[in-house]
A = this chain, B = another copy of it.
Amino acid sequence: MRIPFEELRRTLARCLMERGFTKDRALRCAHIFAENSLVGVASHGLNRFPRFLQWIDHGWIDPVAESVRMATQGSFERWDGNLGPGPLNAEQCMKRATEIAIDNGLGCVALRNTNHWMRAGTYAWQAADNGFLGICFTNTKPNLPPWGSLEPKLGNNPIAMAIPRANGAHVLFDGAMSQFSYGALESAARKHAVLPVPGGFNQAGELTDNPAEIIASQRPLPIGYWKGSGLSLLLDLFATVLTEGRSTQELGRQADEYGVSQVFIAFSKAFVDSRAADSIERAVSNLHSAQASDAAPVRYPGERLFRIRAENTERGVPVDARIWTEVSKLQAP
Q: Enumerate chain A interface residues (CB-CB to B < 8 A).
A: 73-76, 103-106, 108, 133, 145-151, 153-154, 161-163, 171, 173, 175, 179, 196-197, 201, 205, 207, 223-231, 233-238, 240-242, 244, 247-249, 267-268, 270-272, 275-276, 279-280, 282-283, 286-287, 289-294, 296-301
Contact = CB atoms under 8 A, between A and B. Distances in A.
Contact of A240 (B149, B151, B235, B279): B279
B242 A267 contact: yes
Instruction: Please provide the 6 A-B residue pairs with the shortest distance between their CB atoms, ordered closest to farther.
Output: A76-B105, A223-B224, A74-B104, A230-B301, A73-B105, A149-B290
B234 A223 contact: no
B151 A290 contact: yes
Contacts of A223: 223-225, 227-228
A146 B238 contact: no
A299 B228 CA distance: 14
B283 A233 contact: yes
B74 A75 contact: yes
A148 B249 contact: no
Given A205-B293, A224-B179, A283-B233, A105 B153 contact: no
Given A150-B291, A275-B244, A103 B76 contact: no
